[in-house]
Amino acid sequence: MDYTAGLDVALNRLHEEGRYRTFIDIERRKGAFPNAVWRRPDGTEKDITVWCGNDYLGMGQHPVVLAAMHEAIDATGAGSGGTRNISGTTVYHKALEAELADLHGKEAALVFTSAYIANDATLSTLPKLFPGLIIYSDELNHASMIEGIRRNGGAKRIFRHNDVSHLRALLEADDPKAPKLIAFESIYSMDGDFGPIAEILDLADEFNALTYIDEVHAVGMYGPRGAGVAERDGLMGRIDIINGTLAKAYGVMGGYIASSAKMCDAIRSYAPGFIFTTSLPPAIAAGAAASVRHLKTDQARRDQQQLQARILKMRLKGLGLPIIDHGSHIVPVIVGDPVHTKMISDMLLERFGIYVQPINFPTVPRGTERLRFTPSPVHGPKEIDALVQSMDELWAQCALNRAELSA
């Protein structure tokens, strides 16, 4: 086998389809988010505004978070020094898990190195705990859930996105005695649409199924204490396992599940993705805990984010740009072609210092390639004005479609 030729074929395929991913090097400046510096490959620099980050609330530069991290580093050093099992469970990890259990009103929580790992490790472990488990999974679930479900070797059923009738039909077709779990998200991050939580929970009750919700794009931002959409809708207590991230609205790193004490104990004991990896550095756990604690009461920050999202959507709609609006904080503008999406993203960056990464297949279906904007409390009127004017100019210049896509 000519391995180099194999790599060339794989990479050329991406180039030909306009799907080759280019990462841009940015240096975020504490205190100045969302402004940052882009370092070009030739060594030159440009000031930019980041419009596609998932530090949704600007917590990555919040003094409370930074102080907790500095304090923990000074007190305890850099790494945790071990897996959770072998010396890597520190007071910081325990405090974070207690904070998360309290956030979700659950008996316990388990922290993983990321929400990706939390999803993958938990979903791949559940069939070991419940032999014969059938997992019903929304077709648009995140890659980490898909991987976990695929790898577990158990039975799976994929229901059409948010289609509770289809889910019902699948549940009805299976043995009523078989253990079942329904896995879905509260906010699907590419369109910004909400999962039908109440309807899914009703079906779960009817068919005696467990429920697993990914609230990665909601925790910190929805609900009176930032526990997510299920909290906002008064449904959190009916969900068996809640998954969240500490890396997006909480601005740090790590992921978790919150559930019953027994469920967490079993996952802790059986999931290789929890056991056989070094635990998060204590300073990360300390920063994340401070962020979770802070956002339990900082409703003003949540309100500000929603306001910025509404303003941006209204102004882009006013220009007739094809945005998707499901009433969440995510603002996708559909371009519908990978080459055009990349071109517009490049022009925004080079000409206007606006950084929004193009989103292509397989992250979104072909033909729906898009720019996905994530306004936050730190995107002020100046940043919004600059973005709207640049988009207007580019849309005119590139003669792109202005028909609005409604939710």
d(CA 307, CA 296): 19
Structure tokens given for 195:
């999962």
Q: Which residues pair with 212 in a beta bridge?
A: 183, 241
Q: Which two tokens stand for residue 93?
A: 């990890």
Q: For residue 72, which phi and psi values (nearest 5 degrees)?
A: -70, -40
Contact of 40 with 48, CB cutoff 8 Å: no
State yes or no: residue 189 binds ligand PLP (CB under 6 A).
yes
Cα–Cα distance between 292 and 188 in angstroms, integer?
22
Which listed range, 62-70, 127-135, 210-218, 282-290, lies at the site for ligand PLP (CB under 6 A)?
Answer: 210-218
State which of residues 116, 136, 184, 222 lies at the interface with ligand PLP (CB under 6 A).
116
Considering the rule CB under 6 A, would residue 211 count as an interface residue with ligand PLP? no
Identify the active-site residue in 106, 156, 180, 248.
Answer: 248
Select the residue interacting with ligand PLP from 88, 179, 251, 255 (CB under 6 A): 255
Quick check: 245 binds ligand PLP (CB under 6 A)?
yes
Backbone angles phi, psi at 53, to 5 degrees: -80, 160
At 169, give phi and psi (nearest 5°): -60, -40
Catalytic, 248? Answer yes
Q: Which is nearer to ligand PLP, 80 or 114 (CB)?
A: 114
Q: Least distance to ligand PLP from the beta carbon of 362, Å?
A: 14
Among 142, 232, 301, 329, binds ligand PLP (CB under 6 A): 142
**Distance, CA of 263 to CA of 104 (rounded, Å):** 15
Q: By CB under 6 A, is residue 56 in contact with ligand PLP? A: no
Stretch that binds ligand PLP, among 29-37, 57-65, 115-123, 194-202 (CB under 6 A): 115-123
Q: Which DSSP string corresponds to 214-282? A: E-TTTTTTSSTTS--HHHHTT-GGG-SEEEEESSSTT-S--EEEEE-HHHHHHHHHH-HHHHSSBPPPH
State which residue, 154 or 251, has the beta carbon closest to ligand PLP.
251
Which is nearer to ligand PLP, 115 or 316 (by Cβ)? Answer: 115
Q: Is 216 in the site for ligand PLP (CB under 6 A)?
A: yes
Residue 113: CB minimum distance to ligand PLP, A? 8
Give the interface segment with ligand PLP, choosing from 45-53, 114-122, 266-274, 325-333 (CB under 6 A).
Answer: 114-122
Q: Which is nearer to ligand PLP, 142 or 294 (CB)?
A: 142
> Which residues are part of the catalytic machinery?
248
